[in-house]
Amino acid sequence: MPRDFLKKSSIVALAVLGVVGVFLFTEGATVEELKSRIDQKQKEIQALEAQADAYRKSIDQSLIKARTLKGEIARIDARLSQLAINLKITEKKIEAQELKIQQLHGDIAETTRDVEKRREAIGEVIRNIEALDNETLLAMMLRTDQLSEFFQEAAWFEGLQRGLFSEVAQLKSTRVLLEEDLVESKEAKRELQSLSASLQNQRRITENTKLERQAILTETKNQEQNYQRLLTETVRKQEAIEKEIFELESELRRKIISANLPPRQSGLFYWPVDGGYATQEFGEVSANSITRDFYKFHNGIDIGAKTGIGTPIRAVLEGTVVATGNNGRYAYGKWIAIRHANNLTTVYAHLSLIGVSSGNAVVRGQVIGYMGVTGLATGPHLHLTVYASETFRTENRWFGLLPLGGAINPRDYF
């Protein structure tokens, strides 16, 4: 094979590798456009979250006003307004996720083409090197007119080999990026499915809230005096229930076997509310707390969120759903209990919607329900309690199935 032909074909092969970079750059305009649209969706989501937060604050601030029928209806209407915003937020998140999937598909297609072109070019260089290897150094020296030309060609040959090694390494790196994009694409599709489910469930919560509004008006016959009688009776029962829970769980806490509990471990638990923040910690309730009239010891932590009612709630750890219940206006409202393999059982309370059933296996971070204001709750939040599993049990009461146990501080595992 003539030397000039080998030079030209090798140069062309290496040039193909360079063209790949140009190809990616020119195609990148579409990817950048998708990124820009995703960024715009994120800004829209942030603006909507600010609106939802404003409604959440109005719900909290209207607690005193809710001591009247008019105030309670206004509070429910604020929850409906917040839910309407949350529906828009979820819709925007779905749109952003769809754009992200498109972007990933584009990245995957480009990287796949990059891999194939690099393979072709490397194959061409390898064939040329194999042809050159058939010529001995002595034959190469005899064929050249000058010694300097021989050394130039030998150096060129060595450089070609170094370039080949470099391109092979780059090919391996590109394949790693491709595999990462494929994994991210699968995760993005799973998140899209989760968002779609959230959208449907938030619509269900909205309809349930409308029914709750109508039920209060029907029960009170839209009369303030009827509402006041209902409120007085409800508060009396709530106080009695909370006192009983406190007495039962005080005894159960003394039955906790510390040796059976997992050691304190930061990061063991998944934070159950995306963007959530603690509003009340585990332990003794301060004298000036609004909840002090109902209970003196808080057996879990409360977590709020800007988006309030309808915010997805996630399992803190993999496990099995052992019970679900609905206490109506009392105690925990709608709740879920999950038993974990490490002798811990977690309870998620005050939900607006339960998304799992007893016997279901759940994984860490899975959406299991949605934040609400059911039971004895002053505003939309998640109440998370962690029990030592050997102390956990449920009891049937007139207001529904009640979870009980010896509680420990959830902060030990976050």
Q: Note the pLDDT tens digit of each residue in 132-151.
A: 555 555 555 555 555 555 55
- Which residue's entry shows tokens 């190469």? 140
What is the enclosing helix (H) or strand (E) of 32? helix 3-61
Q: What is the pLDDT of residue 292?
A: 59
Provide the total of helices (H) and of strands (E) in the chain, helices listed first. 5, 14
Task: Assign 90 a pLDDT band (cuts: 50, 70, 90).
Answer: very high
What is the enclosing helix (H) or strand (E) of 301? strand 301-304
383 and 267 within one domain = yes
Q: Which domain range does residue 384 map to?
A: 223-413
197 compared with 172, residue with greater pLDDT? 197
**Looking at the domain assignment, is residue 218 inside a domain?**
no
Q: What share of the chain is helix, strand, coil (3-state, %, to 5)?
A: 60, 15, 25
Q: What is the pTM of this model?
A: 0.78
Task: Assign 67 a pLDDT band (cuts: 50, 70, 90).
Answer: confident
Q: What backbone torsions phi and psi does residue 278 show, to the nearest 5 degrees? A: -70, 135
145 compared with 186, residue with greater pLDDT? 186
Q: What is the pLDDT of residue 19?
A: 39
| pLDDT tens for each residue of 279-318 | 999 988 776 766 656 678 899 999 999 899 999 999 999 9
Among 187, 212, 237, the domain boundary falls at: 212
239 and 198 within one domain = no
Query: How many other C-beta atoms are found inside a 10 Å radius of the C-beta of residue 50?
Result: 11
Q: What backbone torsions phi and psi does residue 104 show, to the nearest 5 degrees? A: -65, -40
CA 280, CA 283: separation in Å to the nearest integer? 9
63 and 38 within one domain = yes
Nearest to residue 329, comparing CAs of 258, 406, 256, 230? 230
Which CATH number does the domain housing residue 368 bear?
2.70.70.10
Measured on CA atoms in the order 143, 144, 146, 148, is the torsion positive or negative? negative
Instruction: Name beta bridge partners: 326.
Output: 334
Q: What is the pLDDT of residue 158?
A: 64
Contacts made by residues 24-27, CB under 8 angstroms, sequence distance 24+: 24/110, 24/114, 27/106, 27/110
Q: What percent of the chain has pLDDT over 90?
A: 50
Q: Is the pLDDT of residue 384 over 50?
A: yes
**Looking at the domain assignment, is residue 139 inside a domain?**
yes
368 and 265 within one domain = yes
Q: What is the pLDDT of residue 10?
A: 45
Nearest to residue 273, comparing CAs of 308, 298, 299, 300? 308
**Looking at the domain assignment, is residue 69 inside a domain?**
yes
144 compared with 404, residue with greater pLDDT? 404
CB-based contacts of 326, cutoff 8 Å, min separation 6: 333, 334, 335, 354, 374, 400, 401
81 and 122 within one domain = yes
CA 371, CA 272: separation in Å to the nearest integer? 10
Return mean pLDDT, the chain. 82
| pLDDT tens for each residue of 13-50 | 444 444 344 333 334 446 778 888 888 888 888 888 88
**Looking at the domain assignment, is residue 217 inside a domain?**
no
Among 186, 212, 238, the domain boundary falls at: 212
Task: Return the structure tokens found at 303.
Answer: 């977590």
Task: Return the structure tokens found at 174.
Answer: 């590109």
| pLDDT tens for each residue of 321-357 | 999 999 999 999 999 999 999 999 999 999 999 999 9
Nearest to residue 281, comparing CAs of 308, 255, 299, 258? 299
**Looking at the domain assignment, is residue 282 inside a domain?**
yes
3-class secondary structure per residue, 170-222: HHHHHHHHHHHHHHHHHHHHHHHHHHHHHHHHHHHHHHHHHHHHHHHHHHHCC
Q: What is the pLDDT of residue 20?
A: 41
- Which residue's entry shows tokens 């009640």? 402
| pLDDT tens for each residue of 119-136 | 777 777 677 666 655 555
DSSP structural state of residue 411: G
137 and 86 within one domain = yes
CA 295, CA 249: separation in Å to the nearest integer? 12
Contact of 320 with 359, CB cutoff 8 Å:
yes
234 and 177 within one domain = no
Q: What is the pLDDT of residue 15?
A: 42
Among 212, 243, 276, the domain boundary falls at: 212
Q: What is the pLDDT of residue 156?
A: 57
Task: Assign 2 a pLDDT band (cuts: 50, 70, 90).
Answer: very low
Q: What is the pLDDT of residue 21?
A: 42
